[in-house]
Amino acid sequence: MIEILVSFFLLVGAAFALIGSWGLVHLPDFYLRLHGPTKATTLGVGGMIIGSVIYFSSHGETLSLHELLVTLFLFITAPVSAHMLAKAALHLQLRSEERTRNRNDV
Amino acid sequence: MLSLAIEAAFAMMTLALLLNLWRVVRGPDLPDRILALDTMYINSIALIVLYGVQQKSEFYFEAALLIAVMGFVGTVAVVKYLLRGDIVE
């Protein structure tokens, strides 16, 4: 039972990471590419960490929660770095997709 | 069951890292490359956590935490350089 739960969370995490990276390769311009990995990789790492918390909690004597520090740190820093990357892209006036709404001739 | 799932997850993470590497090499502009590097270190954190589960060892989480801190500082430093032309003003 525990094995099925851990396998499920590990596979969900890996699938989210793979989808995020595929979005990074596939989407047409930078502002769209920013959307894929910043959400999917935090979900991916979150799934992996939940899987490993369940695994080590069921195999050790005590509850194992120190893995959650990694998730906490990533959940704080990922929006900050995504925001700064978007600011840098606007500053450099990168090309944006033709069909973007409300764009001011970037 | 679990070892099979871990193998499958390893394969998926490797594919994800290769896709990121393709964006680092190809990426038309500098922010694309920085974003791909950012994604790469986050994916490598997931890979290290996965390796810790496979080896049944809890010692790899410190490495994951260190990579998280260093990667964030690196990304912020490079973006700051792009924005202002200087890292520490």
Which pLDDT belongs to residue A104? Answer: 63
Work out the minimum CA distance from A100 to partner chain B, whole angstroms: 18
Asked if residue A105 has pLDDT above 70, the reply is no
CA–CA gap between residue A84 and residue A96 (Å, rounded): 17
CA–CA gap between residue A53 and residue A104 (Å, rounded): 47
CB A10 within 8 A of CB B9: yes
CB-based contact, B79 to chain A, within 8 Å: yes
For each of the domains in chain B, give its residue range(s) and CATH number, in order of start.
2-84 (1.10.287)
Question: Which letter does DSSP use for residue A67 in this model?
Answer: T
Locate B53 and state its tokens: 């589960």
Check if CATH label 1.25.40 holds for domain A2-100. no
Mean pLDDT of B14-42: 91
Interface test with A, best of B7, B17, B41, B49 (most A CBs within 10 A): B49
Mean pLDDT of A26-38: 86
